[in-house]
């Protein structure tokens, strides 16, 4: 049985949880989903739409707000009782905060940030990136079950989560959480404009290179970025010339990114740039030179004049939205 730990904050389900459900379902084993908090019943109902055996509801006042101490304690109890073979989380900041501690408490290891699952030799293998996405490893969990893993955001499409024909059964699980033993005292979360752009968090990136010829042409690319709700990035020469700030640079002297979608516009694909974005899930190259090295890593390519293609793409996305 695979246990999926769904994530919620302020009574709102984090949609990435569906990705984890989808991944678990792929294995064909029985799947149960756990949701924890202070009265997370609405979320449990949402999750019950999935084609899973059960949704386990862990309801305790000490679990709101989230603290690592509280969650480690609560989920550990669930795992001990339910005895799954595999426990899966989405690889979110919250997961990173408490799941490793939980695994250690249960004398296990968490295999984080996995991009794939496969069966091999009768066992399960997890696939995860290493060395900043330069390599990929096939990893086998060792030792007795349960095994723990977290899944990279965006690696398993949420849309594939299979809906059940009838809602899954919901069951309350009692946990004993000593509120006094929780050492963290969190204050209310607040929003703040971040100083620097963090491209590593972006799901979609539109990157521009020398092909743009001049800073005054940047709006062409910015239009596409806006239509895609993507972050704008650039290759080294663009930032060098000051057309975009250095924190938008992708490559060996800038940031290394692995978004779901990376569109490289007018970028030749010098190795210094490629090392910064090769790990992207889907790469599109738009360049007038069919021999440009970017096409060695691109999944899709359009050879042509970016000044015609990019506006056409922006329009096509607009049309696509409205249909």
Partner 1 sequence: MLIVGGGPAGLSAAYQLARLGAERGGEPLTVALLEKAREAGAHMLSGAVLDPSALTELIPDWRERGAPLDVSVCDDRLYFLTTNRQFRSPVTPRPFRNKGNYVISLNRFAKWLTAQVESAGIDVFTGFAGSELLYEDSRVIGVRTGDRGIGRDGVKKSTFEPGVDIHAKVTLLADGVRGNLTKTLVQRFGLDVGRSPQSYAIGIKELWEIPPGRLTSGTVVHTAGYPLQLEEFGGGFIYALGDDCVSVGFVAGLDYRDPLFDPHVAFQRFKRHPLVATLLIDGQMVRYGAKALPEGGWHAIPRCHASGALIIGDAAGFLNSMRLKGIHLAMRSGMCAAEVAFQAVRENDLSATRLGQYGDMIERGPIKKELYPVRNVHQSFAGGFVSGFAFSALSLVTGGWWFRDPMPAHAGHERIRTVADYFGQGHLVEPPTAPVDRTLTFDKLTNVHYSGTRHAEDQPSHLQVKDTDICRTRCMEEYRNPCLRFCPANVYEIVDADAGAGKQLHVNASNCVHCKTCDIMDPYQIINWVPPEGGGGPQYEGM
Partner 2 sequence: MKIAVCIKQVVTRDWPLRVAESATWVRDQEASFEMNEPDAYALEEALRLKEKNGAEVVVCAAGPARVSQVIREALARGADRAIHVQSDELAFADANAVAEALATSIRDEGFDVVLTGLQSDDQGFGQTGVILAERMGLPHATIIMEVEVGDGRLRVKRELESGWFQWVSLPTPALLTIQSGINQLRYATLKGIMAAKRKEVRIVTPEGLPTAGHRILKLYVPEKDKATRFIEGPPANAARELVRLLREEARAL
In the complex, the residues that contact partner 1 under the rule CB under 8 A are 213-214, 236-237, 240-241, 246, 252-253, 270-272, 275, 293
Please give the residues from 11 up to 50 whose contact with partner 2 meets the rule CB under 8 A: none
Q: How far is CA 206 from the centre of its chain?
A: 18
Q: Which residues contact 72 (CB under 8 A, 6 or more apart)?
A: 98, 101, 102, 105
> Would you count residue 76 as binding partner 2 (CB under 8 A)?
no
Report d(CA 91, CA 101) in Å as an integer: 14
CB of 54 to partner 2, least distance (A): 27
Find out whether 151 and 257 touch, Cβ atoms under 8 Å: no
Choose the binding region for partner 2 from 19-27, 52-60, 169-177, 313-321 (rule: CB under 8 A): 313-321
Residue from 40, 84, 141, 211 binding partner 2 (CB under 8 A): 141
Geometric angle at alpha carbon 208, from 202 and 211, rounded to 5°: 165
> Would you count residue 180 as binding partner 2 (CB under 8 A)?
no
CA distances from 153 to 202, 243, 259 (A): 11, 31, 9
* Crossing angle of helices 218-228 and 306-322, rounded to 10°: 20
Using only C-alpha atoms, the chain has a radius of gyration, in whole angstroms, of: 22
Choose the binding region for partner 2 from 34-42, 215-223, 234-242, 307-315 (rule: CB under 8 A): 307-315
Q: Which residues contact 211 (CB under 8 A, 6 or more apart)?
A: 265, 266, 267, 268, 287, 288, 306
Residue 180's binding partner out of partner 1, partner 2, none, with CB under 5 to 8 Å set by partner kind: none
Query: Is 121 or 165 the residue whose CB approaches partner 2 more closely?
Result: 121
Query: Is 68 or 235 the residue whose CB approaches partner 2 more closely?
Result: 68
CB of 290 to partner 2, least distance (A): 8
Find out whether 87 and 112 touch, Cβ atoms under 8 Å: no
Residue 61's binding partner out of partner 2, partner 1, none, with CB under 5 to 8 Å set by partner kind: none
Query: Is 170 or 297 the residue whose CB approaches partner 2 more closely?
Result: 297
> Would you count residue 119 as binding partner 2 (CB under 8 A)?
no
Please give the residues from 224 up to 263 whose contact with partner 2 meets the rule CB under 8 A: 228, 252, 260-261
> Would you count residue 299 as binding partner 2 (CB under 8 A)?
yes
Residue 194's binding partner out of partner 2, partner 1, none, with CB under 5 to 8 Å set by partner kind: partner 2
Query: Is 166 or 193 the residue whose CB approaches partner 2 more closely?
Result: 193
> Would you count residue 188 as binding partner 2 (CB under 8 A)?
yes
# residues near partner 2 by CB under 8 A? 85
Choose the binding region for partner 2 from 18-26, 28-36, 211-219, 310-318 (rule: CB under 8 A): 310-318
Find out whether 296 and 269 touch, Cβ atoms under 8 Å: yes
Choose the binding region for partner 2 from 33-41, 43-51, 237-245, 303-311 (rule: CB under 8 A): 303-311
Find out whether 88 and 25 touch, Cβ atoms under 8 Å: no
Mark 170-191 as b/e (b = at least 16 C-beta within 10 Å).
Answer: beebebebeeeebeeeeeeeee
Please give the residues from 277 up to 296 whose contact with partner 2 meets the rule CB under 8 A: 278-279, 281-282, 284-285, 290, 295-296
CA atoms within 13 A on the CB side of 187: 2
């Amino acid at each position: 049985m695979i246990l999926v730990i769904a994530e919620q904050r302020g009574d709102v389900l984090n949609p990435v949880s569906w990705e984890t459900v989808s991944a678990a379902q792929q294995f064909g084993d029985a799947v149960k989903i756990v949701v924890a908090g202070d009265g997370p019943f609405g979320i449990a109902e949402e999750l019950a739409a999935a084609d899973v055996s059960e949704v386990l509801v862990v309801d305790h006042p000490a679990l709101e707000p989230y603290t690592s101490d509280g969650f480690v304690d609560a989920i550990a109890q669930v795992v001990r009782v339910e005895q799954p073979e595999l426990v899966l989380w989405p690889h979110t900041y919250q997961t990173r905060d408490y799941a490793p501690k939980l695994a250690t408490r249960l004398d296990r290891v968490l295999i984080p940030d996995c991009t794939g699952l496969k069966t091999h030799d009768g066992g399960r293998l997890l696939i995860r990136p290493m060395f900043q996405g330069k390599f990929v490893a096939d990893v086998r969990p060792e030792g007795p079950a349960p095994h723990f893993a977290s899944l990279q955001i965006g690696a398993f499409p949420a849309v594939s989560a299979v809906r059940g024909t009838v809602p899954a059964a919901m069951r309350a699980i009692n946990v004993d959480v000593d509120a006094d033993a929780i050492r963290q005292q969190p204050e209310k979360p607040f929003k703040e404009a971040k100083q620097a752009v963090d491209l590593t968090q972006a799901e979609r990136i539109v990157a521009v290179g020398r092909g743009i010829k001049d800073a005054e042409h940047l709006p062409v690319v910015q239009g596409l970025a806006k239509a895609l709700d993507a972050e704008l990035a650039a290759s080294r020469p663009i930032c060098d010339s000051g057309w975009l700030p250095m924190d938008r640079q992708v490559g060996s002297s800038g940031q290394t990114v692995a978004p779901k979608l990376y569109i490289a516009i007018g970028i030749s694909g010098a190795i210094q740039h490629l090392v910064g974005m090769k790990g992207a899930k889907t790469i599109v190259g738009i360049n007038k030179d069919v021999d440009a090295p970017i096409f060695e890593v691109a999944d899709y390519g359009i050879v042509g004049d970016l000044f015609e293609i990019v506006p056409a793409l922006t329009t096509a996305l607009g049309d696509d939205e409205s249909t």
